[in-house]
């Protein structure tokens, strides 16, 4: 009985730790795959400096969640109409291409960026 109690405490601690970080590991792993499949890595790093586009480390704290989804799913119209995106385009001089990412896929990629930003 004591052993069982100790084990459940360890289990609870693990769950709490994971929750504290706020990362959905499964989703982040899916996002990691999409990150290369969708070619984000051709223009971005997460913590290794600028490439064609900005280093995305910490971007999930800098921008609203909804804004990030919109930028990833639909960069074309964001670059046309959104003031922040237009400003970035001025700085980087190259328009981010539409990589045909669904909203669900964008959520996974954002989770991956969040996880990588904590490293």
Q: What is the residue whose two structure tokens read 């896929």?
A: 105
Does 56 bind ligand HEC (CB under 6 A)? Our answer is yes
User: Site for ligand HEC (CB under 6 A): which residue of 44, 107, 114, 115?
Assistant: 44
Cα 104 to Cα 74: distance, rounded to the nearest angstrom: 13
Neighbours of 28 (CB within 10 A): 18
Stretch of 8-16, 17-25, 88-96 lying at the interface with ligand HEC (CB under 6 A): 88-96
- Of 97-116, which residues contact ligand HEC (CB under 6 A)? 97, 99, 101, 109
Element housing 119 (H / E) = none
Token digits of residue 23: 């990362």
Per-residue DSSP letter, 93? -
Contact residues toward ligand HEC (CB under 6 A) are 38-40, 42-44, 52-54, 56, 59, 63, 68, 71-72, 79, 88-89, 92, 94-97, 99, 101, 109
């Amino acid at each position: 009985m004591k052993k069982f109690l100790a084990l459940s405490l360890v289990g609870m601690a693990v769950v709490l730790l994971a929750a504290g970080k706020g990362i959905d590991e499964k989703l982040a792993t899916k996002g990691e795959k999409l990150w290369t499949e969708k070619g984000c890595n051709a223009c971005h790093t997460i913590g290794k400096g600028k490439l064609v586009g900005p280093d995305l480390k910490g971007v999930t704290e800098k921008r609203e969640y909804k804004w990030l989804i919109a930028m990833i799913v639909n960069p074309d119209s964001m670059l046309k109409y959104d003031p922040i995106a237009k400003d970035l385009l001025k700085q980087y001089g190259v328009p981010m291409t539409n990589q045909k990412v669904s909203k669900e896929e964008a959520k996974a990629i954002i989770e991956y960026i969040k996880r990588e930003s904590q490293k």
